[in-house]
Amino acid sequence: MSNFPYQDRFAVHRRLPEEGADRSAVLEQLATMAAEEDAFWETGRCSGTMYCGDHEHYGFLNQAFGLFSHVNVLQRDMCPSATKFEAEIVAMVLDLLHGEAVEGTVPGGLVSSGGTGSIAHAVLAYREAGAARGITRPNLIKPETAHPAFDKACHLFGVELRRAPTDPVTTMVDVDWVDRHVDQQTVAVVGSACNYGYGTVDPIGELSELALAHGVGLHVDACLGGFILPFGQELGYDIPVFDFRLPGVTTISADTHKYGYALKGTSVLSFRDKALRNAQYFFLTDWSGGKYCSPGMEGSRSGGLLAATWASLVHLGREGFRRYARQIFDTSAAMQEVVRSHPALRILGSPTFLFSFTSDAFDVYHVNDFMRGRGWRFNGQQYPNALHMAVTRPQTQPGVAGAFAADLADAVEYAEAHSGEAPSSGAIYGGVAGGMTDEADAFIKAVMADMMDAQQEVPTEG
């Protein structure tokens, strides 16, 4: 029995229809799906995912996008506005990340398709710059907690990835381990500000000194925190310096489509030295179709995303971002205090706006099971089993933090009563928190492959 979405309500298109559908009918279907799916996160009970949640803001961005949605930014002679948008986006991000502190080089940047795109471009740039210095077997060192996009990029670009262990209490990278494992083939080390799992900031200052001492690059992954941590600093929150004010930091990724409140599909990769950015430019001068060059991996890109991202930054300004950051930090602090009020729960590390909690008294996925029934959607973690909440603007709505407190109290009571049972959620890895056998790893990969297959394929007829 297939569970293909909406097959019981709308036609399933297994082939291109012979005759096109009426525009109004198409829009009606889309509106129905959008309204029903939006209703889930509009409650404020969904961790992360929807960073803005303001339909008026989305409407504004959609207008900006629509004006340039048909434009291909490859054709800058036809659409010089793309150059204005992209250059000013990069300039605003460099300003936010203290590009003015850079001395001796000219900073630069590029707009990518998202966090994975920015990370991939950074790894590619380090590989190419390393090759120019004679490095033939490049390696990159990342904290285990750093985003899997680094693993993906290293896999794609033939870079050896070395995973540094993290402190189980602070969740931050073991800098001494990194120091011992840098060698002549290391092109860069990585730190997160903040990491996706725990919302904690790695010791970027120490990594900066290490990078300078070894003469390697330092990439700061601020995909998640790049557009909120700077404003948290301005507001007086205890957030360490992680940007270009540290001389060892050579690249920073920051997602405009997260706390930059732009539409999905944009991120900015900033470089201390634009020569490093230029190392990953692609040129083909002897193609029969003409001379070809590309500043990044993508070819055609929609001018709509550049326009909408530019519009979001210019419209909100520092005051707008600062105001939303205050609301988010205050809400996160309140929710963290709720977690700390339960002796059976434990927050991991010293988080910022995003926090993660576990339990030493029971499997925390019992809490997840109960909270699901109350409409909450957390992101699950393992090693140890934990739940994380990335606080976004929807959580700052009146009543959400109070509902979290009431529901979590009931969830802890439920978890304590069912501590001797296996939870329903997290079952795939709940029983192997100490490690996996090769057979278990292969099984889980097969299940995940089936999940991805299901996202791409329509059900067969009959």
Domain boundaries, the chain: 81-312, 318-430
Segment among 33-47, 53-67, 190-204, 288-302 with least mean pLDDT: 288-302
The pLDDT of residue 100 is 98
CATH of domain 81-312: 3.40.640.10
Query: What is the overall mean pLDDT for the chain?
Result: 93
Model confidence at 460: pLDDT above 70: no
Whether 147 contacts 222, CB under 8 Å: no
Cα separation of the two ends of the chain: 10
The DSSP H or E segment spanning 440 is: helix 438-456
Q: What is the pLDDT of residue 67?
A: 98
Q: Which residues are within 8 A (CB) of 420 and not within 5 positions of it... i.e. 6 or more apart?
A: none
State yes or no: pLDDT of 304 exceeds 70: yes
Q: How much is the average pLDDT of 279-285? A: 92
**E-only strand ranges, 350-449:** 354-359, 379-381, 386-390
- pLDDT score recorded for residue 452: 55
In DSSP terms, which residues pair with 267 in a beta bridge? 112
User: Averaged over 316-344, what is the pLDDT?
Assistant: 98
Which residue would you say has higher pLDDT here, 276 or 444? 276
**Could you give the percent of the chain with pLDDT greater than 90?**
88
The whole-number pLDDT of residue 75 equals: 87
Across the range 36-63, mean pLDDT stands at 96
- Which of 197-206, 242-251, 392-401, 426-435 has the lowest average pLDDT? 426-435
- Assess whether pLDDT exceeds 60 at residue 257: yes
Cα–Cα distance between 380 and 368 in angstroms, integer? 8
What DSSP letter does each residue of 79-97 carry, written as one string?
-THHHHHHHHHHHHHHHHT
Residue 204 pLDDT greater than 90, yes or no = yes
Could you give the C-alpha distances from 235 to 100, 210, 214, 261, 325, in angstroms and in order?
20, 29, 35, 19, 9
- pLDDT the model gives residue 296: 87
Residue % of the chain over a pLDDT of 70:
92
Average pLDDT of the segment spanning 406-433:
80
Tell whether the model's pLDDT for residue 87 goes beyond 60: yes
pLDDT the model gives residue 140: 98
What's the pLDDT at 437?
A: 53
Query: pLDDT confidence of 162, banded at 50, 70, 90?
Result: very high
User: Could you tell me the CA-to-CA distances from 440 to 163, 364, 384, 423, 452 in Å, in that order?
Assistant: 21, 22, 17, 19, 18
How many C-beta neighbours within 10 Å does residue 274 have?
A: 16
Cα 157–163–168 angle (5° rounding)? 150
pLDDT value at residue 76: 87
CA separation for the pair 206, 193 (Å, rounded): 13
Give this prediction's pTM. 0.93
Per-residue model confidence (pLDDT) at position 458: 58
Q: What is the pLDDT of residues 232-249, one digit of tens each?
A: 999 999 999 999 999 999
Max Cα separation, the chain?
Answer: 72
Residue 435 has pLDDT above 80, yes or no: no
SS (H, E, C) 198-265: CCCCCCHHHHHHHHHHHCCEEEEECCCCCCCHHHHHHCCCCCCCCCCCCCCCCEEEECCCCCCCCCCC
CB 256 within 8 A of CB 88: no
What average pLDDT does the segment 223-231 reach?
Answer: 98
Weakest-pLDDT range from 20-24, 142-146, 428-432, 438-442: 428-432
Q: Does residue 337 have a pLDDT over 50? A: yes
Give the dihedral sign, CA 430/381/122/220.
negative
Coil/strand/helix, residue 431: coil
Residues 6+ apart with CB under 8 A from 323: none
The alpha carbons of the chain give a radius of gyration, in whole angstroms, of: 23
Q: What is the pLDDT of residues 107-122, one digit of tens each?
A: 999 999 999 999 999 9
The pLDDT of residue 451 is above 60: no
> What sections of 341-421 are H helices per DSSP?
365-373, 400-417
CATH C-level class of 318-430: alpha beta
Res 93: pLDDT: 98
The answer to whether residue 459 scores a pLDDT higher than 90 is no
CB 375 within 8 A of CB 360: no
Q: Collect all residues with Cβ–Cβ distance below 8 Å to 92 and sequence separation of at least 6.
A: 313
What stretches of 71-206 adopt beta strand conformation (E)?
108-112, 139-143, 160-164, 186-192
